[in-house]
Amino acid sequence: MTSIEDIKRLVLKPYQNHRQLSIKEADTISLEILDLLSQSDCKDTATLKYLANFLTLETYHDLVEERNLNKKCGYPACDRSQNRVRDPYGRNAMATQFLQQNNPYAYLSHYCSKFHYRCSQFYEVQLTDDALFVRIGVHLDDEVKSNAPKLQDISLLEEIIQGEELKQQDLISLVSGIGQLQISQNGDDDAKQELEKDLSDWLSRINIVENESPHPMGDFFNERSR
């Protein structure tokens, strides 16, 4: 299991003397993170959120593929294997492409379950495509350089669904993430309806906690005063 401290110690430690990474350093960090997480899993949700500081959409997709090659579920927080490890058409590129585009269960070749498939989608739409070398100071250790900046706050679908309370920011992240999901279903209405049903079921389990003492000027004022 890989923790935040493992990432700092095994990957980031050599780069604590400067705030901006070179292109070569950023590429090296990306490759080392891919290697580390393709063979191991995130120890906890904090590690998965921290990992987002160093990923782009492209490197995340690479990570999913590398984990699959190691017979692991593509979602970095999962310690299981994907549901369908063997691909009987693996040597036939045309058949593989056809199945990926038309098989409603194609995700099982990459993930252990539909739930982790959805969790992975929700995670990836929050990632930025900004190159790692332009993320000033994101690699710095808080204990070495105080107040080292973090790229962004990441929300995890499993935490939102399983949580008994839903904060306003979590709701914003959930709605935004659902709105951005890019699901390639090739016009498959049944698959789209299935997705809508999944999201409806999950949202029905969420308890939205209202502010018992709202500010007279509304939520916008509360956000600005923080």
* pLDDT score at 83: 82
* pLDDT score at 226: 45
* pLDDT score at 223: 43
Half-sphere exposure of 12 (CA within 13 A, CB side): 24
| Residues in Cβ contact with 220 at an 8 Å cutoff, skipping those fewer than 6 apart | none
Q: Is 208 helix (H, G, I), strand (E, B) or coil?
A: strand
Q: Which residues of the chain have pLDDT under 50?
A: 164-165, 182-188, 208-210, 216-226
* pLDDT score at 25: 97
**List of domains in the chain:** 1-56+127-152 (1.25.40.820)
* pLDDT score at 28: 97
- Going from the C-alpha of 120 to that of each of 2, 114, 208, the distances in angstroms are 18, 10, 23
* pLDDT score at 183: 47
Which of 13, 14, 6 has its CA nearest to residue 35? Answer: 6
What does the pLDDT look like over 76-87, one tens digit per residue? 999 999 987 655
Name the E strands within 166-208.
Answer: none
- Going from the C-alpha of 52 to that of each of 4, 21, 79, 113, 119, the distances in angstroms are 11, 17, 18, 22, 14
* pLDDT score at 225: 45
What does the pLDDT look like over 167-187, one tens digit per residue? 555 555 555 555 555 444 444
* pLDDT score at 196: 56
Which of 59, 23, 32 has its CA nearest to residue 135? Answer: 23
Euclidean distance between CA atoms 108 and 81, whole angstroms:
10
